[in-house]
A and B are shown apart, each in its own frame.
Chain A
């Protein structure tokens, strides 16, 4: 007993000699991030449905063993978020009421600095018509090497506001009657999906006004098998899954959208078991030519947002499933990082982010973005 006490004492003495006294910390001190966000970083949009006026986007490094949570930006009421691929900035279209839930409405486009995560500029959106929907990537898009930003409006009349991101000013508002959302097309334009299963393709001039407008005839049946409005985009081909498990590619490289041949995501036996895509952000693509789709069995009318138990990986050239990733926890949304060693991020039913190794289909880690109240439905990888 005595010898143990002596041992403890001597080890304490040794410790006190071995470590210098800690210096005082500097106050105030605020960290910053690198100007370029890493290829394993993910922007996780939390709509915060329980307190909708305080939405946010959390930045996670999903590959790191620690310090995964890098910071966040606040995106207001029904914010719509997109990071720039040309400048070290991120953008969010936001709505505010002067007194929280009441008072004068202001719509703004906030410009966030990648390093400081502070607003460096703010462009007021004068139309005050910004669509307010569950977080939806295709509601705010960048075109022409990020020179212009487009914001989808819904009143319920639909239109698109065009913002010059070099001059930081709103240029125009373009009506898109009967159509919704924005899918960049051609050099300086976009296509939009319409209620009758057609598309409208619009090209803009440098002033943001319509240079050409072409109606793409109806190419799918909205009543029988609608396209999901979410898609994966690989080398300017948009891959739109359908509710019943087909893939409708659309070539968006030119001024006018060109629907390509539809292919079946399912084998006859999978179709018999009624496997279907389902969830919120149900599809993501990797530039190597693979798309990842959240799938569930025993699909029925109304199960298209039910999420999935498995992620199916397709080779877009072969039109063939090349891998199945069973999920440890039911998935609701997914995103694949775009680098050479891609990771699969899945929003699970517990509102956490599961990170899977794509090669061996194993769960690497599960990341919280802030507890039970979070709604991390929209995930955006760094490109």
Chain B
């Protein structure tokens, strides 16, 4: 990630020089926006995984989670359920970690991952349902790419638009819905 540090510095300097009102992270997000669709490139990682633990996106108000069993802030990329997510966080877009924003449609077809809940040390099956039918949200781009496989193994691939199956496949944001605990637990 050394290259990314350099990229970050350059961008920060440029932003300062041009008095741009856009945040660095928003620029990074723009560089590699996605869906379930976004290629997990370093820039993307930086927007999420590259930030310090629990870091908040500029211009996005924190949403402290009061449920001790479901720890973390769902408007941060580090929130435990997002271990396989790739896209804009619905929690930042008028929805929540398990609900779509008003007026969108939750895609019935998803890709599925398993994430460890640090509160009870159990592995949960997480379904990354995308929300569809409007323009891309554009806030809180988050990408984690572990165990992502190429397109020929589609159900663990994040380069595919998982709004497939919705009445309009235009991608808005992604949720992380609990389906149950996994056998690993």
Write out the residue numbers on chain A whose beta carbons fall within 8 Å of the beta carbon of B160: 131-133, 154, 156
**By the criterion CB–CB under 8 Å, are A97 and B27 in contact?**
no
* B60 interface residue per 8 A CB criterion: no
**By the criterion CB–CB under 8 Å, are A305 and B145 in contact?**
yes
Given A180-B154, A307-B41; A302-B170 close (CB under 8 Å): no
CA distance A332 to B44 in the complex (A): 12
The chain A residue with its CB closest to the CB of B33 is A49
**By the criterion CB–CB under 8 Å, are B34 and A49 in contact?**
yes
**By the criterion CB–CB under 8 Å, are B170 and A133 in contact?**
no
Range of interface residues on chain A? 35 or more
Write out the residue numbers on chain A whose beta carbons fall within 8 Å of the beta carbon of B94: none
* A155 interface residue per 8 A CB criterion: yes
Write out the residue numbers on chain A whose beta carbons fall within 8 Å of the beta carbon of B165: 155-156
CA distance A306 to B6 in the complex (A): 15
| Binding-face segment, B72-80, B113-121, B132-140 | B132-140
**By the criterion CB–CB under 8 Å, are A226 and B153 in contact?**
yes
| Binding-face segment, A110-118, A250-258, A372-380 | A372-380
**By the criterion CB–CB under 8 Å, are A332 and B41 in contact?**
yes
Nearest chain B CB to A306 CB, angstrom units: 5
Write out the residue numbers on chain B whose beta carbons fall within 8 Å of the beta carbon of A202: none
* A141 interface residue per 8 A CB criterion: no
* B70 interface residue per 8 A CB criterion: no
* B43 interface residue per 8 A CB criterion: yes
Write out the residue numbers on chain A whose beta carbons fall within 8 Å of the beta carbon of B37: 49, 132-134
* Residue of B147, B149, B153 contacting most chain A CB atoms (<10 Å): B153
CA distance A167 to B42 in the complex (A): 44
> Which of A49, A50, A132 is within 8 Å of B169, CB to CB?
A132
CB within 8 Å of B: which A88-142 residues: 95, 97, 100-103, 105, 131-134, 136
* Residue of A51, A180, A301, A377 contacting most chain B CB atoms (<10 Å): A180
**By the criterion CB–CB under 8 Å, are B154 and A102 in contact?**
no
* Residue of B39, B43, B168 contacting most chain A CB atoms (<10 Å): B39
A-contact 0/1 string along B141-185, CB 8 Å cutoff? 000111111111111000111011101111100000000000000
Nearest chain B CB to A152 CB, angstrom units: 9
* B131 interface residue per 8 A CB criterion: no
Tell me how many residue pairs across A and B have CB atoms closer than 8 Å.
Answer: 148
* A194 interface residue per 8 A CB criterion: yes
Interface size on B, residues (CB 8 A): 47
> Which of A301, A306, A372 is within 8 Å of B41, CB to CB?
A306
Write out the residue numbers on chain B whose beta carbons fall within 8 Å of the beta carbon of A280: 39, 41
The chain B residue with its CB closest to the CB of A331 is B3
CA distance A361 to B148 in the complex (A): 33
Write out the residue numbers on chain B whose beta carbons fall within 8 Å of the beta carbon of A195: 152-154
**By the criterion CB–CB under 8 Å, are B31 and A349 in contact?**
yes
Write out the residue numbers on chain A whose beta carbons fall within 8 Å of the beta carbon of B43: 332, 349
* B122 interface residue per 8 A CB criterion: no
* A78 interface residue per 8 A CB criterion: yes
**By the criterion CB–CB under 8 Å, are B40 and A302 in contact?**
yes
**By the criterion CB–CB under 8 Å, are B146 and A305 in contact?**
no
Write out the residue numbers on chain A whose beta carbons fall within 8 Å of the beta carbon of B7: 330, 349-350
* A179 interface residue per 8 A CB criterion: yes
The chain B residue with its CB closest to the CB of A192 is B152
**By the criterion CB–CB under 8 Å, are A301 and B153 in contact?**
no
The chain B residue with its CB closest to the CB of A52 is B136
CA distance A53 to B35 in the complex (A): 13
CB within 8 Å of B: which A153-170 residues: 154-156, 158
**By the criterion CB–CB under 8 Å, are B164 and A193 in contact?**
no
Nearest chain A CB to B25 CB, angstrom units: 13
* B30 interface residue per 8 A CB criterion: yes
> Which of A133, A302, A306 is within 8 Å of B159, CB to CB?
A133
CA distance A158 to B147 in the complex (A): 22
**By the criterion CB–CB under 8 Å, are A136 and B152 in contact?**
no
The chain A residue with its CB closest to the CB of B171 is A52
Write out the residue numbers on chain B whose beta carbons fall within 8 Å of the beta carbon of A97: 168, 170
Write out the residue numbers on chain B whose beta carbons fall within 8 Å of the beta carbon of A194: 152
**By the criterion CB–CB under 8 Å, are B134 and A101 in contact?**
yes
Write out the residue numbers on chain A whose beta carbons fall within 8 Å of the beta carbon of B133: 101-102
**By the criterion CB–CB under 8 Å, are A307 and B42 in contact?**
yes
**By the criterion CB–CB under 8 Å, are B148 and A49 in contact?**
no
**By the criterion CB–CB under 8 Å, are A229 and B42 in contact?**
no
CA distance A97 to B161 in the complex (A): 15
* B99 interface residue per 8 A CB criterion: no
**By the criterion CB–CB under 8 Å, are A351 and B31 in contact?**
yes
Query: What would be 7 A-B contacts, judged by CB atoms less than 8 Å apart?
Result: A50-B138, A52-B171, A101-B170, A102-B133, A133-B37, A156-B109, A301-B146
Having A50-B30, A101-B168, A330-B7, one finds 16 other A-B pairs with CB under 8 Å, namely A100-B135, A101-B134, A132-B169, A134-B39, A134-B159, A136-B159, A155-B164, A156-B164, A195-B152, A195-B153, A226-B153, A279-B41, A302-B147, A305-B40, A330-B3, A332-B42
The 4 closest A-B pairs by CB, nearest first: A49-B33, A132-B161, A193-B152, A330-B3
